[in-house]
Amino acid sequence: MTQARSRQSWFSKEGSAFPLGATWLPDEKAYNFALYSKHATRVTLLLFGEDETTAPLVEVEFNHKINKSGRIWHCRLARDEMRGARYYAYSIDGPPGENAYDLHTFDADKILLDPYARQVYFPDSFDREAAKGLGSNMGRAPLGVLFEDDVRFDWGDDSVQFHEHDLVIYEMHVRGFTQNPNSGVAAHRRGTFLGVIDKIPYLQELGVTAVELLPVHQFDPQEENYWGYMTLNFFAPHAQYASQPDNALEEFRMMVKALHAAGIEVLLDVVFNHTAEGDQRGPCYSYKGIDNSTYYITSGDPSNPYKNFSGTGNTLHCKNRYVSRMILDSLRSWIELGHVDGFRFDLASVFNRHFDGSVSLDDSRLVSAIRADPVLGRVRLIAEPWDAAGLYQLGGAFPGKRWFQWNGKFRDDLRRFVKGDQGLVAAVMCRLYGSDDVFPDDLYNACHPYQSVNYVNSHDGYTLYDQVSYNERHNWANGENNRDGHKDNFSWNCGFEGDDGVPTDVIQLRMQQAKNFICLLMLANGTPMFCAGDEFLNTQHGNNNPYCQDNETSWLDWGLLEDNQDFYRFFCRMIAFRKNHPTLSRSRFWRDDVRWHGVGPEIDMSYESRQLAYYLDGATENDADLYVMINAESRDETFVVQQSSLSGWQLMIDTSATGPNDFLDMEQSPKLSSASRVVKGRSVVVLVRPRPS
């Protein structure tokens, strides 16, 4: 018999088309490189040394007869063939962009970042301008980092409770949270993932159970974009959020593990609707040079070749099968390598745009794929159900039927009602109930109230304090002549614009209005969310769009925590009240457990009405009964509590009172002695009747 000779496998010789990216294979002591490009005619892998990024150590030109499978280019290199390389990139050439909808922007001189790189390195000579226009940016381009141990991390027994009625989301910017010197965080940890760890005791005291982090995907450090909504790479953590930039993934995972140990879920705000490359005037870092017409929705207009449904210059082509695959791979990577608990999808309605920009109203290939994925199906999915071009899909119009959604109606209706606008009693009833007009629980839809992410303020707009302190935006510092940011904020300055010389009575009214907002937010059925710093009345001085303000405008001013201790105490107690009363936040709507009233037995639904009360029976949740009286009118109103017996009822919350009398302990709260209760103008009163044990 002829003895079989040992043969090198096909994959070892040619490389494998799966997985995409640069993958270390310890058994072979080799890297597999795989890159998708439908239209490329030449692909060259470039390997760079740790101390030399101006010229590659190794260049490997792919042979399509050996190193290409379908649309994917690939090769495999043994470590000893790579001359100690630490970084990698690609050079790609292809056909000219003659067809309007196959708009190609290949440039063989450009150094291109792998979309699947798990960490991005920026050389000291990195230059955003060099990536614009034609010509080489060698030595000035971002590069992918080669890892041999990137998946090794001691997670121990990492896990976190899946919060239900006690879910309270805290929207946070990693850098802005601790970058201010008065944060109390050591200088080398300020503005980093590790800085968040240092503040976990504070988060526990506050009582939040989930943090929603503004984008932590790698973005361009030379673009004036503080928020991070201009993604350069969807797999790599932002290196500038690490105390040691070459250790960003490790530090991110340390943060997640520590938050989980504190019982806090970690949600990521992800931006799969556009990239940092902008329009035809923007840089070519990666996607444009790899396969422009795959990644972007183009217009067919040579003067404005990119469709701009994101408001940032380009729109990611999410209907493309490969782009959908990249998004799914990115999400899985953050779950499997980063142990995150869910995602908030920025401008998620872009997922429903076809290649020509038209809208698919019935379904979304990407949303369907996310829904069917066994890994993604077990995490929280939150949509911002609109885009920047007017597509608005709040509620049943969004194809993710079980997704949570940012509820813009809750935000706007509560803002208008609390400021004193008329004709909103019915709308506010609906918002407090869980927004069943948006999330119907009929036979066909069977929605849940918790799908409504209720909020008054977020990063995108005024802070809570500015909401009650400014009538007009003050965005001059952004350099756009005060034209940027939302114009209609439904804000009210309580009679005085800003803080310079503000009268004492205005300050007191602002505090009261801010308490009204947080009180109603925490009393509503649904999932509450608020912005970091709102708990101690952080201010951006009227700037409602500080996307480019990496300075004291956007960094939390921790000095205000001390200045506004009474308000902070009230805020913490409102969070605790919600968590301690599961009757408020239910899987299902309140239905027969709620009875609606006005100042008397009947609701005044007239246009002029600004009063509302409701009784919530807690028996089905084995919880206390609640009676809430809301007076958005400027004058005092006498409410009559609609209960046959006053026995057991106690006053707990009165937003018109000063601390600590605005929120009383049960042991200190007075028994209700009369059915009549004067509710001060612009205030909320909450009565509690504990259930006998």
Q: Note the pLDDT tens digit of each residue in 332-352.
A: 999 999 999 999 999 999 998
Q: With 70 as the cut, is the pLDDT of residue 77 above it?
A: yes
Q: How far apart (Å, rounded) are the C-alpha atoms in residues 576 and 570?
A: 10
Question: Residue 638, class by beta-carbon neighbours within 10 Å (0-12 exposed, 13-18 middle, 19+ buried)?
Answer: exposed
Of 107, 384, 535, 625, which residue is the catalytic one?
384
How many Å apart are CA 322 and CA 324, to the nearest integer? 5
pLDDT the model gives residue 99: 66
Once rounded to an integer, what is the mean pLDDT over residues 110-128? Answer: 97
pLDDT at position 557, please?
98
Distance, in Å, from the CA atom of 590 to the CA atom of 574, rounded to the nearest integer, reads 20
Give the mean pLDDT of 81-104.
89
Return the pLDDT at 6.
67
Q: Quickly state the pLDDT bin for 273 (edges 50, 70, 90).
A: very high
Domain topology for 10-145 = Immunoglobulin-like (2.60.40)
Confidence at 151, pLDDT banded by 50, 70, 90: low
Helix, strand, or coil here: 560? helix
> Percentage of the chain with pLDDT > 90?
91
For residue 534, indicate whether it is catalytic.
no
Mean pLDDT, rounded, for 25-38: 96
Give the right CATH number for 591-689 from 3.30.700.30, 3.40.50.720, 2.60.40.1180, 2.40.50.100.
2.60.40.1180
d(CA 48, CA 145): 10
Tell me the mean pLDDT in the region 102-120.
Answer: 96
Residue 497, pLDDT above cutoff 90: yes
The one catalytic residue in 346, 460, 466, 625 is 346
DSSP helix/strand/coil, 392:
strand
Dihedral (C-alpha) 483, 485, 490, 492: value to the nearest 10 degrees?
Answer: -70
In angstroms, the CA 579 to CA 585 distance is 9
57: pLDDT strictly greater than 90: yes
- Helices 425-433 and 408-419 cross at an angle (nearest 10°) of 130
Q: Which two structure tokens, joined as six digits, stand for 591?
A: 């239905």
Q: What is the DSSP string of 133-172?
A: SSS--TTSS-EEEP-SSTT----TT------STT--EEEE
Q: What's the pLDDT score for residue 1?
A: 47
Q: What does the pLDDT read at residue 149?
A: 67
- Condensed to tens digits (0 to 9), the pLDDT of residues 603-613 reads 999 999 999 99
Neighbouring residues of 673: CB distance < 8 A, sequence distance ≥ 6: 646
Contact yes or no for 88/143 (Cβ under 8 A): yes
| Mean pLDDT, range 74-100, rounded to an integer | 93
Average pLDDT over residues 553-577: 98
Question: What tokens does 97 get?
Answer: 């962009």
Question: For 268-283, what is the mean pLDDT?
Answer: 97
Answer yes or no: 384 catalytic: yes
648 is written with which tokens?
Answer: 């057991």
As a whole number, the mean pLDDT across the chain is 95
pLDDT digits (tens, 9 = 90+) for 207-224: 999 999 999 999 999 998
Q: What mean pLDDT do residues 323-340 have?
A: 97
Check pLDDT > 90 for residue 623: yes
Radius of gyration, alpha carbons of the chain? 28
Distant-in-sequence, close-in-space partners of 68: CB < 8 Å, separation ≥ 6:
62, 74
Given the DSSP bridges, would you call strands 380-383 and 404-406 parallel, antiparallel or unpaired?
Answer: parallel
Provide mean pLDDT across the span 267-295: 97
What pLDDT is stored for residue 4 in this prediction?
55
Domain ranges of the chain: 10-145, 591-689
Lowest mean pLDDT among 97-101, 110-114, 552-556, 641-645: 97-101
- The structure tokens listed for 114 are 């792998």
pLDDT-derived band at 98 (thresholds 50, 70, 90) equals low
